[in-house]
Structure 1
């Protein structure tokens, strides 16, 4: 049998039927045919390309493979993504950044185990549904950024937030985070005014941010609060573990940076508070954590909304209002049938109290005199 015929027969047995029997049959066929490995890899890269055409990006694919399969499959898909991406001379900046995050490492196993893992991965890839696209796929035209380097302001913001995550002193973390939010707001307004003055073609874009278990509802609420405060819209897809954030490019990366940092700071504060609870004889860890993070997200939402009102002066309202309308229109175009859900699961008073206090410690204000860039 030819290598193509072997691969086709293995796929017919394994990819389009549920259960392990078909996987075992397909793996046995491939294990006995080493010459089919090259064809098998080409088919995998083709499945990756088809997933991109259905709206998935590299980080999305890696995230769901990691969640639904495992580390070995993540290694395999990273290699396929790198191989398929290598066919294209030019890639959009966000796409390139996701490729830089890939963890590539060889997967060592006996032939049967290797073939079985490959078929499990391909079964997942061919069943991925279409989702809302958030950028051009490789090979499609895109608007290149004026510079390959990150804007200086974002570099400063990133450095401030890294320091906030690293410090063991809550007051210092508060001050650093406050300064980062101040710079984010200033950068956003400057970009909006520049676009208005120069009549630069500027339209909302979108990106996806992972919202991983556990306690994903609280994390999604926190991301929504950060996005709203920075003139963006976030739509959570609980089934696939991500939120799509819609906004102007000047705001999107800032949202991801601040959300990630606040999540790290909140998790650190939660671990510290949980240790105190355990020292007092408490054992209900899960309910404490869930209530803590819900309170943390809720309180930060209130504080960020207040800050958002403070940083906008009357002369900026017309420019920013037009951008708000554009973001809303784009989000509604992408997601015409969003739904709301009632949040449940806050049952631990101590967790809620500690989470609220942690949010207050991570407060974000307009200015803070103790920090100099």
Structure 2
């Protein structure tokens, strides 16, 4: 029996029929080592098809982790690395996603490995088409200039210090300066584009919104996006939000959201310790309420500092308004139908109060 025939028979039994016979398919593959190269080739093809349907490496691995296991995620990462290795140039953000892929898992026995492979392929085949947020490898790609803007490097450094310090006033000052730099960087980029008549247009990126407390985290991301002249649309089923905006603002949203999530988690841990010291057990509703209040209050703070920076450069209002219209138009084009999600489980008064207080301590307005 040829390797192609073995793979076809296994796929017919496990992937392409309503009555899946996974054990039979795995047994066929396990008994024929010569089928391994063809099986891996098919996997790379399935990965490529997922990209063509709008998925990126981080999206694929996130779904595999949510639906299957670390063994499946390791195999998915191996296939992704193999497929991307065929291309000389990758789209923006792909190198960073590849660097964050999980390590391959230790080898399993042949039957277990075949079972893992078929389960992964079944998931890849069933991934639906989603909104594309950029080209796929092999398509025309505008290669970004090496390095990153000095302002963004300074912002990253400030937020890293804010996350690392155990002294709240220092974290406040660092976060405040970082957000001010973000807003000014955005305004400067808009001014440069206006003066040079650059034909740039809004783009998009995806940011993972992982369990637990996804709704509160999505609200936090939405607040960060809104304050930085972007729009965020959350897909709860797939565990990510798509953020639409101009490139400098997308970078700011990614950096700031990640940092605020770290700071919020640290603040919540401290608040829970205080609750335990007072004789109260930590609860899920406490954490949900804490993060909800944090997201709500931090959104106000972000909007305040961004608004102040814009007021300082009132002559740019027409330029910024035009960019806002462009972002809104692009978001509505990508997502013509959206619904508002109500946050549930926000019933713990202590959690809400302490979450709001943590956001106050992390406030991002000038002069604080």
Query: What is residue 371 of structure 1 aligned with on the other side?
Result: none
Give the Cα–Cα distance (whole angstroms) in 1 for the partners of residues 170 and 18 of structure 2: 54
Q: Tell me the CA shift for residue 308 of structure 1.
A: 2.1
Give aligned pairs, total.
366
Q: Structure 1: which 5+ residue stretches go unaligned?
A: 369-373
The answer on 1:250 being equivalent to 2:242 is no
Give the Cα–Cα distance (whole angstroms) in 1 for the partners of residues 49 and 97 of structure 2: 18
1:93 alignment partner, SS class: coil
Contact conserved, 2:227 with 2:303, CA < 8 A, in 1?
A: yes
Give the Cα–Cα distance (whole angstroms) in 2 for the partners of residues 163 and 16 of structure 1: 52
Query: What is residue 187 of structure 2 aligned with on the other side?
Result: 189
Q: Tell me the CA shift for residue 204 of structure 1.
A: 0.3
Give the Cα–Cα distance (whole angstroms) in 1 for the partners of residues 289 and 358 of structure 2: 12
TM-score under structure 1 normalisation? 0.96
Q: Tell me the CA shift for residue 59 of structure 1.
A: 0.6
Q: Tell me the CA shift for residue 15 of structure 1.
A: 1.7
Query: What is residue 41 of structure 2 aligned with on the other side?
Result: 42
Contact conserved, 1:204 with 1:248, CA < 8 A, in 2?
A: yes
Per-residue CA deviation, residues 28-47 of structure 1 (Å, 9 max, x unaligned), is: 11111111110000000000
Query: What is residue 216 of structure 2 aligned with on the other side?
Result: 218
Per-residue CA deviation, residues 76-119 of structure 1 (Å, 9 max, x unaligned), is: 00110011111111112212221122233343111111111111
Per-residue CA deviation, residues 101-139 of structure 1 (Å, 9 max, x unaligned), is: 223334311111111111111010000000000000111
Q: Structure 2: which 5+ residue stretches go unaligned?
A: none
Give the Cα–Cα distance (whole angstroms) in 1 for the partners of residues 23 and 172 of structure 2: 55
Give the Cα–Cα distance (whole angstroms) in 2 for the partners of residues 294 and 276 of structure 1: 19
2:128 alignment partner, SS class: coil
Give the Cα–Cα distance (whole angstroms) in 1 for the partners of residues 56 and 119 of structure 2: 20
Query: What is residue 130 of structure 2 aligned with on the other side?
Result: 131
The answer on 1:315 being equivalent to 2:295 is no
Give the Cα–Cα distance (whole angstroms) in 2 for the partners of residues 336 and 97 of structure 1: 30
Q: Structure 1 stretch 260-269 or stretch 358-367: which is displaced more? A: 358-367
Contact conserved, 1:226 with 1:255, CA < 8 A, in 2?
A: yes
Q: Tell me the CA shift for residue 26 of structure 1.
A: 1.1
Query: What is residue 4 of structure 1 aligned with on the other side?
Result: 4
Per-residue CA deviation, residues 16-57 of structure 1 (Å, 9 max, x unaligned), is: 3568x6221111111111111100000000000000000000
Give the Cα–Cα distance (whole angstroms) in 1 for the partners of residues 315 and 321 of structure 2: 11
The answer on 1:60 being equivalent to 2:63 is no
TM-score under structure 2 normalisation? 0.97
The answer on 1:359 being equivalent to 2:359 is yes
Query: What is residue 345 of structure 2 aligned with on the other side?
Result: 345
Give the Cα–Cα distance (whole angstroms) in 1 for the partners of residues 106 and 319 of structure 2: 53
Change (3 A) 1:52 1:367: farther
Contact conserved, 1:182 with 1:367, CA < 8 A, in 2?
A: no
Give the Cα–Cα distance (whole angstroms) in 1 for the partners of residues 105 and 258 of structure 2: 29
Query: What is residue 99 of structure 1 aligned with on the other side?
Result: 98
1:234 alignment partner, SS class: strand
Query: What is residue 29 of structure 2 aligned with on the other side?
Result: 30
Give the Cα–Cα distance (whole angstroms) in 2 for the partners of residues 342 and 123 of structure 1: 33
After TM superposition, the structure 1 = structure 2 runs for residues 107-256 of structure 1, keeping only pairs within 5 Å, are 107-145=106-144, 147-256=145-254
Give the Cα–Cα distance (whole angstroms) in 2 for the partners of residues 249 and 175 of structure 1: 26
Instruction: Give RMSD over aligned pairs.
Output: 1.3
Contact conserved, 2:26 with 2:111, CA < 8 A, in 1?
A: yes
1:36 alignment partner, SS class: helix
